[in-house]
Amino acid sequence: MIKGVEVYIRPITYEDTELIVKWRNQDNVKKYFFYREEFTSDIHEKWMRDKVETGEVAQFVVCLKENDVPVGSTYLRDIDTYNKTAEYGVFLGEENIRGLGVGKRVLMLTLDYAFNELGLEKIISRAITSNKPSVYSFLNSGFVVDEEVADVPCSDGEKVPMTMMSITKDKYMGR
């Protein structure tokens, strides 16, 4: 468990499957993912077996500290220990906590883990450009825009612009 002031993140378990599936299938969550197909328990359990259990992904459940209520998930995927890189992602499944700064707090906890516990040197993130709160949170946390990509295909056929961002350990630790 990694504790912050108002939130904490704990390692994801198979017992979280039902909650993750519920959150990932919400339209207001799904619209900010490139993979937009119906998310199932089987898909999540395969992800757990093939990605989380192998160490390719470090995934956590985000909980509010005051009442231990799970509200979302954060992850580092494609962890490359040789090149010391990973990709960051987050989604908040409980709508009532969006816009309250929870995403930024979770980002800081996850970056601390990536840089200090995993020894990574660079974290990248991809965001659908229309997800303004997410892009703003990244930029406000020290990420820089590396590239703007137009017409990235989503699994439902829609093409969307994508903002590629990154932060390095030295930039983060110097904040």
pLDDT digits (tens, 9 = 90+) for 58-117: 999 999 988 999 999 999 999 999 999 999 999 999 988 888 888 889 999 999 999 999
110 with 79: CB under 8 angstroms?
Answer: no
Using DSSP, state whether 8 is helix, strand or coil.
strand
Buried/exposed 34-66: b ≥16 CB within 10 Å, e otherwise: eebeebeeebbeebbeebbeeeebbbbbbbeee
Supply the mean pLDDT for the chain: 93
Domains of the chain as residue ranges with CATH? 2-173 (3.40.630.30)
Closest CA to 142 of 68, 88, 71, 73: 88
E-assigned strands of 24-84?
Answer: 58-64, 70-80
Q: At what angle do helices 132-140 and 102-112 cross, to 10 degrees?
A: 50
**pLDDT tens, position by position, 42-59:** 999 999 999 999 999 999
Confidence category of residue 5, pLDDT binned at 50, 70, 90: confident
Closest CA to 165 of 73, 84, 89: 89
Q: Which residue has the higher pLDDT, 2 or 8?
A: 8
SS (HEC) of 85-145: EEEEEEEECCHHHCCCCHHHHHHHHHHHHHHHHCCCCEEEEEEECCCHHHHHHHHHCCCEE
Confidence category of residue 174, pLDDT binned at 50, 70, 90: low
CA pair distance 106, 129, nearest whole angstrom:
20
